[in-house]
Amino acid sequence: MIELVNISKSYDGKINVIEKLNLKINKGEIVVLIGESGCGKTTTLRMINRLNEPTGGTIMIDGQDYKKMSKIELRRQLGYVIQKVGLMPHLTVGKNIEMIPELKGWDKEKRKERAYELLTTVDLPPEDYYDRYPHELSGGQQQRVGVARALAVNPDIILMDEPFSALDPVTREQLQKELLRLQDELGKTIVFVTHDMDEALKIGDRIAVMKDGKIIQYDTPEEILKNPADDFVEYFVGKDRLWKSPEMLRASDIMHKSLITVGQRRTPAQVIEVMKEKDLETLFIVEKETSKPQPPIGYITRESLREQGSNESKMSDICNREFETVQHDSKMTDVLKIMDNKLVRSLPVLDDNGNLIGMITRASILNLITKAVVNEEENQ
């Protein structure tokens, strides 16, 4: 675990570029620092491996003041990957990876074995790449070597400063995916700096949105999208972002919250009145007509009521008790699948206790699309 406690940093002794910053990074998490250029992301990252010294505050690594170790020792326990990669051009790929192992006095066999292993991990066949020179590799391949090098002495923590920003979009996406895979396999703690929200949402377990040397919001990608802390975060995330990340949308985000239901004792005539008034084709039936959430019993359509004609039967007798439901945290993609497969018109959304809290209809989905499209036009 990494803990930044009240960290401040000034380069000139006057202006604080980082102002009393607090950040806790749990073991095995990918935490993304994001913000506009110059907001202090790099400065923050480089304070963790003491390439920059904080002017105030402390940093704890696994509960220990990080100054207990020498700088050199500390840095060898933290992998470091930068945008420009910084491979040693006069050394082969293998020797680049083996640099720190060599300085630590590993013998030749062990070094080479490790380099082979790591090249395999980053998907560069060692037989082909071990003896190559950096300039013979593409940008993406170079950064793979950069990542392999950072893993050489098996650090628990890896610091990455815009590692994929200089790559073309296709390569970038590939490396992002592989980073996630690597993280799954190795369980490293990763602090990742980027200015690209798409990237942050894709790879971050948590995202710290920074502005002027402060953290404005530190939350999961979902929370950042759905509940931006202020206008800046909202602007930075982009209003239409939620729509562009449908995997982040949950049933509760798209449902109608103003529920219309009727009690089970109602007669067909009364229910038809409600339907006419509210212009509805389907209504869900609950036990009592109170504002308290309760489980749905069944549903009734206008068509079936018309066929019934006017009589004295109760809704509890004639309603249809076979229906699909979704949980409030079901993914939007699953919701769409159900509506599509079963030709469902109204899909009840249930909370954790099985109570009805909202309704998804074709109209509510149309609403969502409309909002996204309108936002898009406003942004242009």
Partner 1 sequence: MNDMNFFQFMASRSDELIRLTIQHIQITGLAVLLAVMLGVPVGIFISKNRSLRSPILGLANVFQTIPSLALFGLIIPLLGTGYVPSVFVLFLYALLPIIKNTFIGINSVEESIIDAGRGMGMTTNQILTKVEMPLALPVIMGGIRISTVINIGTATIAALIGAGGLGEMIFKGISMASDNMVLAGAVPTALLAIFMDKVLGMVETKLTPIGITSQKDKAN
Ligand X SMILES: Nc1ncnc2c1ncn2[C@@H]1O[C@H](COP(=O)(O)OP(=O)(O)O)[C@@H](O)[C@H]1O
R_g over Cα of the chain: 28
Query: Can you count the helices (H) and strands (E) in the chain?
Result: 17, 16
Calculated CA dihedral for residues 111, 117, 120, 126, nearest 10 degrees: 40
What is the distance between the alpha carbons of residues 139 and 199, in angstroms, rounded to a whole number? 18
| 321 lines the binding site for partner 1 (CB under 8 A) | no
What is the distance between the alpha carbons of residues 145 and 96, in angstroms, rounded to a whole number? 8
| 103 lines the binding site for partner 1 (CB under 8 A) | yes
| 75 lines the binding site for partner 1 (CB under 8 A) | yes
What is the distance between the alpha carbons of residues 324 and 356, in angstroms, rounded to a whole number? 12
Angle of the 139-150 helix axis to the 93-103 helix axis, nearest 10: 20
| Minimum distance, C-beta of residue 137 to partner 1, in the bound complex (Å) | 11
Binding partner at 134 among ligand X, partner 1, Mg ion, none, C-beta below 5 to 8 Å by kind: partner 1
Beta bridge partners of 9: 18
| Minimum distance, C-beta of residue 33 to ligand X, in the bound complex (Å) | 8
Binding partner at 135 among Mg ion, ligand X, partner 1, none, C-beta below 5 to 8 Å by kind: partner 1
| 42 lines the binding site for Mg ion (CB under 5 A) | yes
Closer residue to Mg ion (CB): 146 or 268: 146
- The 8-class DSSP code of residue 36 comes to S
The SS3 assignment for 206 reads strand
Stretch near ligand X under the rule CB under 6 A, chosen from 31-39, 138-146, 182-190, 354-362: 31-39
What is the distance between the alpha carbons of residues 185 and 178, in angstroms, rounded to a whole number? 10
# residues near Mg ion by CB under 5 A? 1
Stretch near ligand X under the rule CB under 6 A, chosen from 30-38, 225-233, 262-270, 284-292: 30-38
Binding partner at 136 among ligand X, partner 1, Mg ion, none, C-beta below 5 to 8 Å by kind: partner 1
| 144 lines the binding site for partner 1 (CB under 8 A) | no
Binding partner at 257 among Mg ion, ligand X, partner 1, none, C-beta below 5 to 8 Å by kind: none
Closer residue to ligand X (CB): 224 or 360: 224
Contact 268, 311 (CB under 8 A): yes
Binding partner at 80 among Mg ion, ligand X, partner 1, none, C-beta below 5 to 8 Å by kind: partner 1
Edge to edge, what strands does the sheet with 64-65 contain? 16-25, 2-10, 56-61, 64-65
| 41 lines the binding site for ligand X (CB under 6 A) | yes
Closer residue to partner 1 (CB): 114 or 202: 114
- The 8-class DSSP code of residue 54 comes to -
Binding partner at 346 among ligand X, Mg ion, partner 1, none, C-beta below 5 to 8 Å by kind: none
Both structure tokens of 72: 């050199």
Q: What is the DSSP string of 289-346?
A: -SSS-----EEEEHHHHHHH-S-S--HHHHSB-----EETT-BHHHHHHHHHHTT-SE
Stretch near ligand X under the rule CB under 6 A, chosen from 41-49, 132-140, 264-272, 282-290: 41-49
Stretch near ligand X under the rule CB under 6 A, chosen from 37-45, 67-75, 181-189, 224-232: 37-45
| Minimum distance, C-beta of residue 40 to Mg ion, in the bound complex (Å) | 9
Q: Which residues bind partner 1 (CB under 8 A)?
A: 46, 49, 51, 71-76, 79-80, 82, 84-92, 99-100, 103, 133-136, 146, 149-150, 159
Residues interacting with ligand X, by CB under 6 A?
11, 17, 35, 37-43
